[in-house]
Structure 1
Amino acid sequence: MGDAHRVGVVGLGVISRAYLDTLVGHPAVRVTAVADLDATRSEAVAAERPGVRALTVEELLSSPDVDTVLNLTVPAAHAEIALGAVGHGKNVYGEKPLAADLADAHAVLEAAAKAGVGVGCAPDTVLGTGIQTARAAVAAGSIGRPQFASAVMVTPGHERWHPHPDFYYTAGGGPLLDMGPYYLASLVHLLGPVRAVTGAAGRPRAERVIGSGPRAGERIPVAVDTHVTGVLEHVGGTLTTITTSFDGVATTAAPIEVHGETGTLAVPDPNYFDGEVRLFELGGTEWRTLPVSAGYADGARGIGLLDFVAAHEDRAPRANGELALHVLETMTALLRSAAEGRRVELTTTVNPPAPVPLTPPEDWRGDHHTAPSP
């Protein structure tokens, strides 16, 4: 495999532990440095992991001991950190969304292309067995030609569990930009890119109350729409109805359903790597659970970065910047459509990433010292 790919992590919030659990000790990568605006966080993380240095953000971005910057900052800082990494000649792999607005996302990809470095972006949950088994079923014709789809994400809001939920309700936040990437990336894998959207949105509450942690009971302002719905027109002709909301208590709707000429596919929650894929065939009498047939088995946060590092000239990284840009434009177009009351055509498109063959956990984890499957 050669030398391990060196990774520096910027942003050590809640999600960082999941990434570090996957990456630290993996033979394909070596986490060399961590940085956070709160120096005590980076020092604590480094102290727990031998060989990891605690640096300032600028020190990490310029460090010769970092090949790829893993950007786990809040959405409003995604572009700034990405551009800083690219400016120092480093690859960058970030949490979703690629940037808080479309112009910044374009700037990141343009700067990366000019510098000759790569850009990757979450979500990588779509590379797990749930979405990939569903994708394989669609590709195999299990439901015939897809006709339409639905995608539904309903929660009462992340402030109920997150101790510092402010960023969910500021620019770059909201249910669509926060959770939409999971659903939209899945839909691109399943049905291809989007050519146009029509949206509607609302903001029922001006404030939210933090429900846990040291700030429990504190009220925070809401500066974004918290219920967004709309219709996506896929290039292939399929229509998807999407709803993302921080204003509902619960739902019985499947996270994603794909309806075809000869069957309906119920797709598991794309916020997770696995889950049952169920098929109801035309003329049948009940749902049938499909066997797992594709994807990184027992996937975990960070598999997208491992896939990014393992990518070679035969294929692009699956969690790539072009897909993230298209997903971001789809979301911002939905919000613009809602604000302007009109159908919006997209300016970007993307080829769906290569399917993920069924990959046992010992392979992608490096237990056998092999890279993730091509």
Structure 2
Amino acid sequence: MNPVGIGVIGAGVISDAYLKSMRSFPDLIVHAIGDLSPDAAKDKADTFGIERHGGPEAVLNHPDVEIVVNLTVPAAHVEVALAVLAAGKHVWSEKPLSLTREDGRKLLATAQRAGLRVGCAPDTVLGPGLQTAHRIIEKGDIGRPLTALTQLQGPGPESWHPNPAFLYQKGAGPLFDMGPYYLTALIQTFGPVAEVAALGSKAWNRRSVGSGPLAGTEFDVEVMTHISAIARFESGQSAQSIFSFDSPLSRSGVVEITGTDATLALPDPNRFDGEIKIRRRRSQSWETLATTTARSERGTGVLEMARAIREGRPHRASGALALHVLDVMTCMNESITEGAFMDVESTSEVPAPLPDDWDPYVATL
């Protein structure tokens, strides 16, 4: 066996999910974890049995780390990713890729010059639910795809997250925090986005932490917390979306693709599993379809990227795809400000579905 060496920078809440899954993938080996708080890194290292811990340099200087998983807050994504590239290592970042198009382009250009790779969340599109849906649509089971509807609404993450202020800063909010899951699923179906329009609002200028040691602490809200958007794809189809942290009623995971012959209800794009249902034209009921790919978890994109590096092929959750998603979201924000449709200048290829026998828990390297 020749597993790919992994290091993690960022020991926050999301690191638990990544470390749990990556430690169970035989094609990966986690060598080090670093954080600006060395104590936080030590806690994760002790919990998950990681040999080295400390500040970010514990990861950047580790000779056996090939890919660094960047789990820092959005405002630090590019700074950390550039440091990873400067250390001669590939980087996988949590979403969004960056806060601005310019920084995203700089990051990808730097990686290209260095002959290194950039991967980026979300990787839920590589899970069995959305991969099965991808195959169903490609086979023509819903006919020609026409339109889509997505919906994410709820009261906001401050009710459960112990330190949620960063989720209301630039680079987050419902659009930048949750939008990538839904938009990536749409791009997987329809291809790249050509233009968008959006309206936005903010219910409160300040919110308060609802749980944990900071409960009751107020923080500023810097971003729109309700966005209604429409998108037209290069292929001519359209989609409408709601992203909201302002609703007392939680309704999330809605992704419906309507074709000439049927409507397909996809699983929650923030999850790797979930039901797929189809409502065929002239039918009065939904039919549940079976998934066709092995189960997977957070970190699957890191694994797919690692295998792609070893095999000398492009990886699916690419920096170019993440940059296009970032561009789409930025254009939505600009549309809110300008009150007009905005052209999306970037584009991206649509990754092919994973092979039917792709399994993250089988050693292949």
Correspondence for 2:350 among 339, 342, 352: 352
Alignment partner, residue 72 of structure 2 = 73
What amino acid is the match of 2:300?
I
Residues 245-270 of structure 1: CA distance to partner in whole angstroms, max 9, x if unpaired? 00112256761111111111111110
Correspondence for 1:306 among 303, 309, 316: 303
Residues 1-374 of structure 1 correspond to what in structure 2 (within 5 A)? 1=1, 3-24=2-23, 26-250=25-249, 255-293=254-292, 295=293, 297-312=294-309, 315-359=313-357, 363-366=359-362, 369-370=363-364
* Matched-pair contact (CA < 8 Å) for 1:174–1:224: yes
* Matched-pair contact (CA < 8 Å) for 1:254–1:268: yes
Q: TM-score, normalised by structure 1?
A: 0.93
Shift of the alpha carbon at 1:171? Answer: 1.1
Q: How far apart in 2 are the matches of 1:81 and 1:211?
A: 30
Report the secondary structure of 2:215's partner residue: coil
Shift of the alpha carbon at 1:141? Answer: 1.2
Distance 1:253 1:77, change over 3 A: closer
Report the secondary structure of 2:5's partner residue: strand
Moved more, 57-66 or 163-172: 57-66
Q: How far apart in 2 are the matches of 1:299 and 1:95?
A: 17
Shift of the alpha carbon at 1:347? Answer: 1.3
Q: How far apart in 1 are the matches of 2:121 and 2:145?
A: 26
Distance 1:252 1:12, change over 3 A: closer
Q: How far apart in 2 are the matches of 1:284 and 1:193?
A: 31
Gaps of 5+ in 1: none
Residues 281-311 of structure 1: CA distance to partner in whole angstroms, max 9, x if unpaired? 1111211111213x4x221111110000001
Residues 182-213 of structure 1: CA distance to partner in whole angstroms, max 9, x if unpaired? 00111111111101111111111101111100
How many percent of aligned residue pairs carry the same amino acid?
Answer: 42
* RMSD of aligned residue pairs (Cα, Å): 1.6
Report the secondary structure of 1:80's partner residue: helix
Q: How many equivalent pairs are there?
A: 364
Report the secondary structure of 2:228's partner residue: strand
* Matched-pair contact (CA < 8 Å) for 2:67–2:92: yes
Moved more, 253-262 or 116-125: 253-262
Q: TM-score, normalised by structure 2?
A: 0.96
Report the secondary structure of 1:289's partner residue: strand
Distance 1:317 1:325, change over 3 A: same
Moved more, 75-84 or 96-105: 96-105
Report the secondary structure of 1:311's partner residue: helix
Q: How far apart in 2 are the matches of 1:202 and 1:52?
A: 47
Q: How far apart in 2 are the matches of 1:251 and 1:284?
A: 28
Q: How far apart in 2 are the matches of 1:279 and 1:67?
A: 42
What amino acid is the match of 2:364?
T
* Matched-pair contact (CA < 8 Å) for 1:254–1:266: no
Distance 1:314 1:227, change over 3 A: same
Distance 1:101 1:50, change over 3 A: same
Gaps of 5+ in 2: none
Distance 1:260 1:314, change over 3 A: farther
